[in-house]
Amino acid sequence: MLDGTFRRTRLPNGLRIVTEQVPFVRSVSLGVWVQVGSRDEASEEQGLSHFLEHMLFKGTESRSAFDIVHALESRGGTLDAFTSRDLTCFYVRCLDEHVEAALDVLSDMVLNPALDPGEIEKEKSVVLDEIQNVDDTPEDLIHDLFAKAIWGGHPVGAPILGTPETVRSFSRSKMAAFHSERYSPDRIVISAAGLLDHERILEQVARHFPGNGPSGPLLRRDPPEVPERTVRHVRRDIGQTHICLGRMAYAYTTPKRYEFMLANTLLGEGMSSRLFQQVRERLGLAYSVYSYTEMLEDTGLFGTYVACDQSRVDQAVETVRHELEELKQGNIGEEEISSARAQLRGELVLGMESMGNRMTRLADDEIYSGDYVTAADSLAAIDRVTVSGVREVCEELLDDGKMHVVSVGP
């Protein structure tokens, strides 16, 4: 049996708790998900969500930065966080007996950050180094540039880390106002998976996350419009050229979700995919080649990536385009779809062995669709995917005339 016991509760202040009890482990993965990300920033605020994520580790009104991490690491647990375009997440993995200690630390971080001005100035240097690291790493930079091309001037395509100019402008007052407005209970989801008791977690959350509901205007997000096709090259004095080819695609809740995932799997996910076999194995044009998807609340993207020597760029790009055209023309067989189905099924089942993956699935389903999708339901949906369904997605998306092309290199 893959699925544990699912429970969901919404507190009077709007905060939601979703849990999955899995009795055959000793660990619990616990996440505090805040529905604010880089897309919710004004142009002068770019990078503020990510910077605030950093600052929540720098101490609270009652804990130092050391106290925060030591409280969990001294119990064998781990604490981390990330910021995405749609969300900010703070998460813990710990033994089941330490769940309340984890909630105590997480609630203190999320609700009571000190936002010390001296720590803010120090952290600016850290984040500026992080931005510089992306700029110095072409395989990272290319994806920032590609997202900007896909989503045009819409905030969803802005760099999550922000820019040096915006980061240098951040002040305590700006950060405190952003935190007060965006970190309200109605925008928080707490998800947990592992050896747990929902009622006990519910009581602990209610105690550690008090509040009276929204403190700012309701979150409003407008989906991006389809921008004009972009062809852009950014010069860098490096050995390889890095190229992304792709376009805007489906949101998380699309009815074509599994057809889209299967199309991506057979095209460029893994060493048996078409791109890997053609570009690397048969022609030896590149070491790194793959395709990928990103599905957000109301938009998404599909991309292909290849990095190769400048002398092989034209042939590599033409090979990628040929494989895209083959799929667009519907040259897909049942045997290939069966293999992609098996690959996706295996990834799903193996992923269910991780409480962190289960915790993330719970949160994504709650935030994006408001529904709980069991692993059994997902496996059944994968099995229902047909050759004609995948062909339809490929015909709709893989139009070369609508593909953005972004490259970084000599």
Strand partners, 248: 301
Query: What DSSP letter does each residue of 327-367 carry, written as one string?
Result: HHTT---HHHHHHHHHHHHHHHHHHTT-HHHHHHHHHHHHH
For residue 33, which of 147, 160, 180, 191 has the smallest C-alpha distance?
191
Residue pair 306/243 in contact by the 8 Å Cβ criterion: yes
Q: Which residue is it, tokens 């050995």?
A: 239
Helix, strand or coil, per DSSP, at residue 309: strand
CA dist., res. 87 & res. 32, Å (int): 10
Q: Which of 20, 53, 259, 294 is catalytic?
A: 53
Nearest to 193, CA basis, from 75, 68, 74, 96 = 96
**Which residues touch 344 (CB under 8 Å, ≥6 apart)?**
258, 261, 262, 265, 382
Active site residue 395: no
Q: In what order do the strands lie in the sheet with 231-235?
A: 231-235, 404-409, 240-249, 300-309, 288-295
SS3 at position 98: helix
Of the candidates 131, 115, 108, the one whose C-alpha atom is nearest the C-alpha of residue 175 is: 115
Tell me the C-alpha to C-alpha distance, in Å, between residue 317 and each of 173, 283, 323.
48, 12, 10
User: For residues 55 and 312, what is the distance between their CA atoms, to the nearest angstrom?
Assistant: 44
Distance in angstroms (rounded) separating the CA atoms of residues 93 and 73: 10
User: Which residues are tagged catalytic?
Assistant: 53
